[in-house]
Amino acid sequence: MEIIMTVLASILFATGIYNLLQKQLLRIVIGTVLVSHGAHLFLLTMSQLKRGAPPLVVDGVTQYTDPLPQALILTAIVISFGVTSFLLVLAYRTYTLNKTDNMEELRGSEHE
Amino acid sequence: MIYAVFAPLLFAVLIPFLSRWKDRVHTGWLILPVPLAIFIYFLQFVGPNFEPQSMSVDWIPSLNISLSFYLDGLSLLFSLLISGIGMLVVLYSIYYLNHKEQLGHFYTYLYIFMSAMLGVVLSDNVYVLYTFWEMTSISSFLLIGYWHYRERSRYGALKSMLITVFGGFSLLGGLILLNIVTGTTSIREMVAQSEVILDSPYFPLILVFLLLGAFTKSAQFPFHIWLPDAMEAPTPVSAYLHSATMVKAGIYLIARFSPIFAGEPNFFVVVSLFGIVTLAWASYMAVRQTDLKGILAYSTISQLGMIMAMLGFGTDVALFAAVFHILNHATFKGSLFMIAGIVDHETGTRDIRKLGGLFTLMPISGTLAIFGTFSMAGVPLPFLNGFYSKEMFFEATLLNQAAGPFGQFLVAAIPVLAVVGSIFTFVYSMYLFFGTFRGKYREEELPQKPHEAPKMMLLPPFLLVLGVILIGLIPEVFNQSLITHAADAVFGEEINKSIYFWHGLVPAFYMSLAVVVLGVALYLTKHKWEGVYSILPGKLSFNRIYDWLVEKIESTSNRITTSYMTGSLRLYMVLLLTAIFVITSGVLVQTGGINLEVTDVAPITVTEVIVALFIAFAAIATIFTHNRIAVILTVGVVGYGLSILFVLYRAPDLALTQLIVETVTVALFMLCFYHLPNLSKTKAPLFQKGINVAISVGFGLLMMVVGISAYNSRAFDPISDFFIENSYPLGGGDNMVNVILVDFRGIDTLFEVAVLFGAALAVYAMIKLRRNKGAK
């Protein structure tokens, strides 16, 4: 199962990066979302899947799923949410100010 | 001794305050005592019974760097030249520079230079030597660019800076290697370990580095090109830096280290060859110049080449002659520069084609110039010091040592080149004097009506010419008290030489004779053979190479920068990702880290595979969808699919959070999308698309390989058992993930909250603040 999940994470990475390489701002934001999804899945997969009960203490159960990656992913989800929302508003502001969402046109004014 | 070195530097700090009264008292008068005191201080050491002095003050003891100074004959000679000529130059500049000029700047730079130069010749520690060495480069840069509003001055200053600092840098490399090889930073101890240095594998590098430093500083062929352009400096500076002191720093360096290299065939070949070629080429080129200072600049280069060649010969007579000529050259060249400055000052031009017949108008300058130029030419008169050292030079060129076929060739070629160089020296010396002071007086071409310079302005060149005559008349006095000690220091052993006027009918005499006869002949027929300069050098010029190099380096680096700094985010992403891909996969392959045989995996179940397929499908669909809402929804599918996976993989908290976050994110996207344009199908070129596909697929594959390989190589057990066991006993909670988040690893959570808070503030600020385009 871990192999399938790794492949899935890789697909998320690949599609995310493909979106990142596009010109439209919205696509770039979507690309970051996909890449962070891939990273979360990757984190979970790397700590082995389904090796016991959910990490809630229940009497009599000795085998639990690794709780540490879950805590890490939880932190990561919240942070990437914050970043995504910021990026989204940034994209919105950029568009309203510059009247374009094409990254090739959004170059620094110092560019010659 | 340390006071002598640092006194000018200390006064350099005071000069800006002193120069406030420059309208009443010329600043030069106020600081003139400094070099005078230093000169008197060093003068007390002169005498037949000279003993070397040394002193040391700690500077950076942990790095073995101390301000250690050592005064032997060679340093003494140079110190006397620096302080003595420095004093005369300050005196001369008082009359040369108007008080409306920025005198504070001028004297500050000049005194920094004086300190630096004294430091160079007195330092015993190689790093201290290097420090002072670069100080001379920098102060020389400032002095050449003194009239910074002139374009030529800036060009000359930059050129000299680039070339000498390039040399200084390689010198540093050489000194560091010497330090590594010998394990000491003291020059004297290095000289004592001469064998170790010669045997070390670094020896060729050391030699090349040191010689590069010395050749660039002393304007040796082909690095001589900065010196003629440095003539844009005020004339006192040219007289001081570019004839008497700084350009001799390279000579000093070679002389100082020559006991180490004595007898080494490569050293002989390289130094002699470059020296003699410099001598011949520069004296040949000097005849072509039309600017008085241009002639003097090339003449300086050629004389430096002569000294350098003699240092290369390494025989006792050669080294003695080299030291002797250092003194002689400083006297006559300093006086000639000053006279050139006077001529410039009084007539308003330095162009020799406009000058002529000035002798009746400026008899004193003319008389002084006779001595200077004739001494430079080596005219055999018993009161001209130039003749003595030239005669010794000819004697020294008749070498009989030779190693290898090239050495043999060199031994044969050196006397010929020496004679050729000296003939041209004779020609330009005569041209310099007769072209300026004799011939037709052309009043209409001169910007000013010439008259004799003020007496005090004539005093410094007069004193220098007095030196020329005194050395010429009583050479033995100078020999016994000064020159012998200096030559001993260079040779490493005692040299007993006497200076005679009449050597008898030896080969050197015939060489001198040939120089005078052929020189007169060539000078009288100069206008007939001048055409030769259009054949050689013709268009061949090292200045062109320098300009081409500077221009090329600038344009090439500019082209490289603009080729990748296009401002396109996509290109940067491509470069970054390619770099990551290449490095990571390279490391993987190199270290053999790829391991795709999986053993310990969870069983595959149908539900998960279906969910995974959904996610993969949705992720791929984002690429091909061009409808805004559709793209946002497909991303939502990925997020929700992920939360289902979290459920299946027994991570309830994750599933919950993911669900909520995904919902909010999709809602946000929905809020924003209304204001964003539709995702029209972009018309990217096929090539670009191909690259995008290649990079993303490659990166995905790489992550897959990395993931599987990492999964297979577990170095040690996870630490989670601790959390599982202690979640309740220590944390007091059943939910291990929550206990980790707020108890075991609470700081993570604190800052995660901070991130969210920061993002919220930023979002608010971005929406509310509208400073640029006005409120909407």
Q: Which domain holds residue A71?
A: 2-52+64-103
Res. A112: pLDDT tops 50? no
For residue A57, tell me if it sits in a domain: no
Which of B642, B643, B706, B767 to mutate: most A Cβ within 10 Å?
A: B642
pLDDT of residue B599: 75
CB contact under 8 A, B665 and A48: no
- Going by pLDDT thresholds of 50, 70 and 90, the confidence category of residue A15 is very high
- Other C-beta atoms within 10 Å of B538: how many? 9
CB contact under 8 A, A13 and B628: no
On whether any CB of chain A is under 8 Å from the CB of B754, the answer is no
Tokens, residue B775? 């409120």
Tokens, residue B595? 């391991």
Say if CB B338 and CB B281 are below 8 A apart.
no
- Establish, for the pair of chains A and B, how many residue pairs have beta carbons separated by less than 8 Å: 268
For residue A38, tell me if it sits in a domain: yes
pLDDT of residue B715: 73
Taking residues B87-103, report their average pLDDT. Answer: 86
DSSP run (H or E) holding B708:
helix B686-712
Res. B24: pLDDT tops 80? no
Taking residues A92-111, report their average pLDDT. Answer: 72
For residue A12, tell me if it sits in a domain: yes
Q: What is the pLDDT of residues B700-716, one digit of tens each?
A: 999 999 888 888 877 78
For residue A11, tell me if it sits in a domain: yes
- Going by pLDDT thresholds of 50, 70 and 90, the confidence category of residue B772 is low
On whether any CB of chain A is under 8 Å from the CB of B765, the answer is no
Q: What is the pLDDT of residues B584-600, one digit of tens each?
A: 999 988 888 787 777 77
Higher pLDDT, B135 or B532: B135
Q: What are phi and psi of B69, to 5 degrees?
A: -120, 145
Which of B659, B664, B763 to mutate: most A Cβ within 10 Å?
A: B763
Which of B740, B747, B761 to mutate: most A Cβ within 10 Å?
A: B740
Which residue's structure tokens are 């430091």?
B119
Nearest to A17 among B602, B696, B720 (CB): B696
CB contact under 8 A, B664 and A81: yes
On whether any CB of chain A is under 8 Å from the CB of B567, the answer is yes
For residue A110, tell me if it sits in a domain: no
Nearest CA in chain B to A24: B679
- Going by pLDDT thresholds of 50, 70 and 90, the confidence category of residue B19 is confident
d(CA A56, nearest CA chain B) in Å = 5
CB contact under 8 A, B665 and A41: no
On whether any CB of chain A is under 8 Å from the CB of B713, the answer is no
Nearest to B699 among A6, A14, A64 (CB): A14
Res. B775: pLDDT tops 60? no
Question: Residue A68 sits in a domain of what CATH number?
Answer: 1.10.287.3510
Say if CB A44 and CB B646 are below 8 A apart.
yes
Nearest to B639 among A37, A79, A111 (CB): A37
Tokens, residue A2? 């871990």
B755 neighbourhood in chain A, CB within 8 Å: 78-79, 82-83
CB contact under 8 A, A77 and B652: no
Q: What is the pLDDT of residues B47-71, one digit of tens each?
A: 888 888 888 888 888 888 888 899 9
B649 neighbourhood in chain A, CB within 8 Å: 44, 49-50, 65
Tokens, residue B129? 């030597």
Say if CB B309 and CB B322 are below 8 A apart.
no
Closest CA to B395 of B414, B375, B420, B376: B414
B763 neighbourhood in chain A, CB within 8 Å: 85-86, 89
Which residue's structure tokens are 């830096």?
B241
A109 neighbourhood in chain B, CB within 8 Å: none
pLDDT of residue B389: 83
Quick one: CA torsion of B266, B268, B273, B279, rounded to 10 degrees? 150
Higher pLDDT, B479 or B577: B577
Q: What are phi and psi of B189, to 5 degrees?
A: -70, -30
d(CA B579, nearest CA chain A) in Å = 14
Say if CB B86 and CB B42 are below 8 A apart.
no
Res. B625: pLDDT tops 90? no
CB contact under 8 A, A24 and B570: no
Taking residues B234-250, report their average pLDDT. Answer: 87
On whether any CB of chain A is under 8 Å from the CB of B452, the answer is no
* SS3 assignment, position B580: helix
Q: Global pTM? A: 0.81
Say if CB B598 and CB B624 are below 8 A apart.
no
Q: How far is CA B71 from CA B2, B46, B261, B598, B617, in A?
A: 11, 11, 21, 77, 85
pLDDT of residue A52: 79
CB contact under 8 A, A44 and B758: no
pLDDT of residue A99: 75
CB contact under 8 A, A1 and B608: yes
Res. B478: pLDDT tops 60? yes
CB contact under 8 A, B568 and A6: no
Q: How far apart are CA B316 and CA B559, in angstroms?
A: 54
**CB within 8 Å of B738: residues ≥ 6 apart:** B653
Closest CA to A24 of B682, B143, B413: B682
Res. B363: pLDDT tops 80? yes
A14 neighbourhood in chain B, CB within 8 Å: 696-697, 699-700
| ipTM surpasses 0.85 | yes
- Going by pLDDT thresholds of 50, 70 and 90, the confidence category of residue A11 is very high
For residue A83, tell me if it sits in a domain: yes
Q: How many domains does chain A have?
A: 1
Nearest to A17 among B577, B645, B734 (CB): B577
Q: How far is CA B759 from CA A28, A84, B135, in A?
A: 18, 9, 52
For residue A111, tell me if it sits in a domain: no
Taking residues B416-437, report their average pLDDT. Answer: 88
d(CA A28, nearest CA chain B) in Å = 10
Closest CA to B220 of B248, B240, B258, B261: B248
pLDDT of residue B683: 64
Measure the CA angle with vertex B561, ends B560 and B565; round to 5°: 125
Which of B568, B633, B638 to mutate: most A Cβ within 10 Å?
A: B638
d(CA B553, nearest CA chain A) in Å = 20
pLDDT of residue B166: 92
CB contact under 8 A, A15 and B622: yes
Res. A38: pLDDT tops 90? yes
Nearest to A86 among B701, B762, B776 (CB): B762
B766 neighbourhood in chain A, CB within 8 Å: 89-90, 93
CB contact under 8 A, A74 and B710: no
Q: Quick one: what percent of chain B has pLDDT higher than 90?
A: 22
CB contact under 8 A, B741 and A74: yes
Taking residues B95-100, report their average pLDDT. Answer: 83
**Single-letter code of the amino acid located at B57:** V
- Going by pLDDT thresholds of 50, 70 and 90, the confidence category of residue B641 is very high
Q: What are phi and psi of B714, to 5 degrees?
A: -90, 115
Q: How far apart are CA B165 and CA B136, in angstroms?
A: 10
**Single-letter code of the amino acid located at B445:** E
Res. B577: pLDDT tops 50? yes
Q: What is the pLDDT of residues B186-235, one digit of tens each?
A: 888 888 888 888 888 888 899 899 999 999 999 888 888 899 888 888 88
Q: Of the ranges B93-102, B160-169, B482-491, B498-507, which one carries the lowest mean pLDDT score? A: B498-507
Which of B577, B581, B594, B623 to mutate: most A Cβ within 10 Å?
A: B623
CB contact under 8 A, A67 and B723: yes
CB contact under 8 A, B708 and A77: no
A110 neighbourhood in chain B, CB within 8 Å: 567
Taking residues B720-738, report their average pLDDT. Answer: 86
pLDDT of residue A111: 46
Q: What are phi and psi of B68, to 5 degrees?
A: -105, 130
On whether any CB of chain A is under 8 Å from the CB of B645, the answer is yes
Q: How far apart are CA B538 and CA B281, in angstroms?
A: 14
CB contact under 8 A, A51 and B602: yes
Total count of residues recorded for chain B? 776
pLDDT of residue B401: 65
Which residue's structure tokens are 């299946």?
B648
The single-letter DSSP state of residue B716 is: S
Nearest to B763 among A7, A16, A89 (CB): A89
Q: Quick one: what percent of chain B has pLDDT higher than 70?
A: 96
Taking residues B528-537, report their average pLDDT. Answer: 75
Give alpha helix (H) positions in B398-506.
404-437, 455-473, 475-478, 484-491
Res. B579: pLDDT tops 70? yes
For residue A109, tell me if it sits in a domain: no
Annotate chain A with three-state secondary structure.
CHHHHHHHHHHHHHHHHHHHCCCEHHHHHHHHHHHHHHHHHHHHHHCCCCCCECCECCCCCCCECCHHHHHHHHHHHHHHHHHHHHHHHHHHHHHHHHCCCECCCCCCCCCC
Res. B403: pLDDT tops 90? no
CB contact under 8 A, B672 and A92: yes
Q: How far apart are CA B352 and CA B442, in angstroms?
A: 11
Q: Across chain B, what does the average pLDDT equal?
A: 85
Q: What is the pLDDT of residues B253-311, one digit of tens each?
A: 999 888 888 778 888 888 888 999 999 888 888 888 888 888 999 999 999 999 998 88
Q: How far is CA B628 from CA B364, B381, B618, B639, in A?
A: 94, 100, 14, 17
Higher pLDDT, B477 or B90: B90
- Going by pLDDT thresholds of 50, 70 and 90, the confidence category of residue A32 is very high
Nearest to B759 among A56, A86, A103 (CB): A86
Q: What are phi and psi of B460, to 5 degrees?
A: -60, -50
Res. B776: pLDDT tops 50? no
Say if CB A107 and CB B568 are below 8 A apart.
yes
- Going by pLDDT thresholds of 50, 70 and 90, the confidence category of residue B473 is confident
CB contact under 8 A, A78 and B756: yes
Q: How far apart are CA B278 and CA B297, in angstroms?
A: 13
B684 neighbourhood in chain A, CB within 8 Å: 23
pLDDT of residue B682: 60
d(CA A99, nearest CA chain B) in Å = 9
Nearest CA in chain B to A17: B696
Gyration radius (Cα) of chain B, Å: 38
pLDDT of residue A13: 92
Nearest CA in chain B to A38: B642
pLDDT of residue A46: 86
